Chain A
């Protein structure tokens, strides 16, 4: 597609519910990133994929967070047993090459998750 597409745009979850957030990167982009943006804060790195390999998951805040990209294109960020502190905008970004610095990131519009 022309840009990075994320769905749903908004998600309200009851505390304890599991959620799945989807990211469709730009076709052909090798690298995919997830960032978490709390209200009034800058985005914070969660995880990085190069094709289907998850090369860095150091930013995932707990073992309730899980990300996958099984075929090297679409990625899903799953949060189990959601808690109120998980409320944030989850941004996905993709990049043409490995790493991102020579190619730049393209960000999606994000999924705003509200846990009630």
Chain B
């Protein structure tokens, strides 16, 4: 069975600090996708990034960066120079491939609550 572990339940930082959110996953699939979503207090899940299992290049988007390492089954997310607006719950998720070869189902971690204080 697939599993996503976000060991950090809550993180609190002061504005402008860098912060890294950890994600470790387990899967037997050779082809899979990893995601990060942001859930602000309003409740909707906001898509941040999708990464497939064959692409281990790190990615940077503005203040956000992601480090994907298959060797350690990790997909960590770093926010540089954090801002108060970054305060939210962040979820890491893994796609699941069914017996028919379709991979539409997401398995989520329990999330990390990030609080950025002014």
Question: Interface residues, chain A, CB within 8 Å of chain B?
Answer: 3, 31, 33, 35, 40-45, 48, 56, 59, 89, 91, 93, 95, 99-101, 104-110, 112
Contacts and interface: CB of A to CB of B under 8 A. Distances in A.
A101 B33 contact: yes
A35 B37 CA distance: 14
A45 B43 contact: no
Contact of B103 (A101, A108, A110): A101
A42 B91 contact: yes
B106 A45 contact: yes
A105 B102 CA distance: 15
Interface stretch (B13-21, B44-52, B62-70, B78-86): B44-52
Interface string B103-118: 1111111110000000
B44 A42 contact: no
B104 A107 contact: no
B98 interface: yes
B61 interface: no
A104 B106 CA distance: 11
Interface string B14-50: 0000000000000000000100010000111111001
B87 interface: no
4 residue pairs, one from A and one from B, having the closest CB atoms = A42-B108, A107-B45, A99-B104, A109-B44
Given A89-B43, A108-B44, A110-B43, A101 B110 contact: no
Interface core residue of A41, A45, A99, A101 (most chain B CB under 10 Å): A101
A31 B104 contact: yes
A48 B103 CA distance: 12
Contacts of B105: 45, 48, 56, 59
25 contacts: A33-B104, A35-B106, A41-B111, A42-B91, A42-B93, A42-B109, A42-B110, A43-B108, A45-B106, A45-B107, A48-B104, A56-B104, A56-B105, A91-B43, A91-B45, A93-B45, A95-B104, A99-B102, A100-B106, A106-B47, A107-B37, A107-B44, A107-B45, A107-B46, A112-B43
